Structure 1
Amino acid sequence: MKKLEHIIVVLNGWALILMLTAMTLVVGANIALRYLTAHSLPWADEAARYLMIWMTFGGAGLVLRMGGHVAITNLRDALPDRGQKIMRGAIALGLLIFFGFMVYVGIQYAQRMQYQVTPALRLPFLYVYAAMPVGFALLILHLAFIAYPFITAGSYKHPDGDDSETTHLPDSANG
């Protein structure tokens, strides 16, 4: 199971790196062409926008594993240890339900958009809106991997995925 988790984290990270690289190259080429030839690529802004959408949804799960999303912990901190575990369990369950709902809604939305095409690239919007269900499915996967240590100890995975070292966020970082 740990090997599968490591593979998913590495593939997710490399996908983000490749998308960021592609976005950088497209925008950089467009800027260079605009200043060197007074012409630009008509599809560059659109491609960069859609890559940014995919990076946002695709990276949310990696941020979740490290506790990087905004959290307000005043109520949780006021509870005794057992109450904190129950609250963290309820939060994890609530997130799982929400993420599952968003996968369902995202699939429906992407299917509705499959016959419309983007203005410049002429891609079906299905490929753009597919970022939503894919991203939320990744969030479910990452949540499944971190749920137990989060619920029991309030800790998150270390950025390199090593279980021997977990990250406890200080109260000031959680709001």
Structure 2
Amino acid sequence: MSSILSVSRKALMLSARLCRTVSVFLLALMAILIVAQVAGRNMLDIGMPWADELARFCGVSLVFLGVPVLALQGRHVAVDIVPTSLPEKLGRYLNCLSEFAVLAFAIITLVGFQSFLSRAWKFSTPSLGLPNWVFYAPALIGFALLLMISAVRLAELLSGNSPDGENSQKP
């Protein structure tokens, strides 16, 4: 079981690194698009609605692609004052409950995406004409990875390992 978790964590680390790299490029592209849009409007008197839509896509995408990186490292938003102040065993139970809640949230969100996109996949965005499945793909990828990461973290907690311990590497 330990070797499966180790291989799973390494595969998820590679995926998280890829998400982080794509997020950095999306952030740079978003900054360029916003500057180009402001310059085009103020200096050249041209509107670029496609740039606004693409910048919005970049911003939303980098957030959802950043989630797996933070979740894998255990650096997502967490209030851990209670689990850290309790005895180790009880704190571990609370951490398991927390990971299970994240896992359930990811499942519910992916089911909701499936329900939404089963009806809306054929529609396109207004300016760029991107199909909805392309526009929502980064969010789907982020939540699918979050689901896998939460499952691995929960398995690590249940097997007695610390998912945020000194042995866990950073992507």
Determine if the TM-score, normalized by the shorter chain, exceeds 0.5: yes
Residue pairs, 1:121-132, within 5 angstroms = 121-132=128-139
Q: SS at 2:49's partner residue? A: coil
Q: SS at 1:69's partner residue? A: coil
Is 1:14 aligned to 2:14, yes or no? Answer: no
1:133 Cα deviation from its structure 2 partner? 2.3
The verdict on how the C-alpha distance between 1:158 and 1:152 changes in structure 2, with shifts beyond 3 A counting, is closer
Residue pairs, 1:37-56, within 5 angstroms = 37-56=44-63
Q: How many residues align?
A: 162
Is 1:77 aligned to 2:77, yes or no? Answer: no
1:82 Cα deviation from its structure 2 partner? 0.8
Alignment match, 1:112: 119
Q: 5+ unaligned residues in a row in structure 1: which ranges?
A: 163-175
Q: CA RMSD in A?
A: 2.8
1:128 Cα deviation from its structure 2 partner? 2.0
Inter-partner Cα distance in structure 1 for 2:129 and 2:163: 46
Alignment match, 2:66: 59
Any conservation in 2 of the 1:106–1:130 contact (CA below 8 Å)?
Answer: no
TM-score normalised per structure 1: 0.76
Q: Which amino acid aligns with 2:89?
A: R
TM-score normalised per structure 2: 0.78
Alignment match, 1:87: 94
Any conservation in 1 of the 2:100–2:150 contact (CA below 8 Å)?
Answer: no
Any conservation in 1 of the 2:84–2:91 contact (CA below 8 Å)?
Answer: yes
Deviates more, 1:99-108 or 1:140-149: 140-149
Any conservation in 2 of the 1:146–1:157 contact (CA below 8 Å)?
Answer: no
Q: Which amino acid aligns with 2:139?
A: M
Inter-partner Cα distance in structure 1 for 2:55 and 2:138: 14
Percent of pairs identical after alignment?
23
Is 1:103 aligned to 2:107, yes or no? Answer: no
Is 1:155 aligned to 2:164, yes or no? Answer: yes
More helix per residue: 2
Match of 1:4 among 3, 6, 11: 11
The verdict on how the C-alpha distance between 1:159 and 1:54 changes in structure 2, with shifts beyond 3 A counting, is farther
The verdict on how the C-alpha distance between 1:130 and 1:7 changes in structure 2, with shifts beyond 3 A counting, is closer
Q: 5+ unaligned residues in a row in structure 2: which ranges?
A: 1-6
1:143 Cα deviation from its structure 2 partner? 2.9
Inter-partner Cα distance in structure 1 for 2:163 and 2:63: 25
1:60 Cα deviation from its structure 2 partner? 1.0
